[in-house]
Each structure stands twice: as structure tokens, then as C-alpha cells.
Amino acid sequence: MGRIDPDRRHANIDYVMFMTLGDFKVRGGELRAVCNKCRTAQKIDLDVLMRLNGGHAILWGRKGRCRVWACEGEATFEGRAVAGQSWVPMRHKPSRGEMRDFAERWHEVVKGKDVEW
């Protein structure tokens, strides 16, 4: 299989298609941070996040600090592929094997595809 299945565009996020911040940018995904203490959900500006962390940064399995004043809670990142879809908590930290699968899947997706320029 050398092409991205068009149906995947309507599937919600997973760590294969939405691994890095750059993947979210390219595929139009959305991100938010939800505090585990005050439960506040805050929308994340992807462009700002990419400037701060780089396009190759991975949020899966990572935590952030809550931005609500005086709250010392931890924020879990959540993502979704398209507005209106349910938010998927990105708690899963990809294992070494899953990272390898990810790299191989990408190789298959990219291989044989004409370069767009």
C-alpha cells in the first residue's frame, strides 16, 4: 500500500498518523490541555507550541503544567483530527517497538508517492 487511505482522513487521531506536532499541523488536527486538578480545558495554539518545542516534538505520554493561576495541577494533552470529533487523551507513551512500527508505516506511506512541490 503506497498511498494514504482516504478514509483515514475521517478517523480520529492515533499515534501513527498524529505522532508529532508537525503531523497535527499538516493534517489539521487540534490540541488542548486538560488539568487533572481543576479540570479546566485550554485550547493549544499549535503554531506557538511548534515554535517553542519544534515540529518534531511528541506530546504522547507527556504532561504539561496547568496554566490556571494558583492551580498546581498537571495537564494531560488531548487531540482530535477534526473539529466536532471527540477528544482523545494522549496518555499512551509509544514503546520502542511502536516507534519502530511508526517509522516503518511512514516509510510505506511515503514510498512511491510523487513529490508535491
| 38 binding Zn ion? (CB under 5 A) | yes
Q: Which stretch binds Zn ion (CB under 5 A): 20-28, 34-42, 86-94, 102-110?
A: 34-42
Distances (CA, A) of 38 to 6, 41, 44, 56, 72: 39, 9, 17, 30, 9
What residues are paired with 42 via a beta bridge? 33
CA dihedral 8, 107, 60, 47 (to 10 degrees): -80
| 35 binding Zn ion? (CB under 5 A) | yes
| Range 10-29, binding Zn ion (CB under 5 A) | none
For residues 62 to 91, the per-residue mask of contacts with Zn ion, x marking binding by CB under 5 A and - elsewhere, is: ----x-x--x-x------------------
Please spell the DSSP secondary structure of 30-74, one letter per residue: EEEEEETTT--EEE--HHHHHHHH-TT-B-TT-EEE--STT---E
Q: Which stretch binds Zn ion (CB under 5 A): 43-51, 59-67, 78-86, 96-104?
A: 59-67
Q: How far is the CB of 90 from Zn ion (least distance, A)?
A: 17
| 4 binding Zn ion? (CB under 5 A) | no
Binding site for Zn ion (CB under 5 A): 35, 37-38, 66, 68, 71, 73
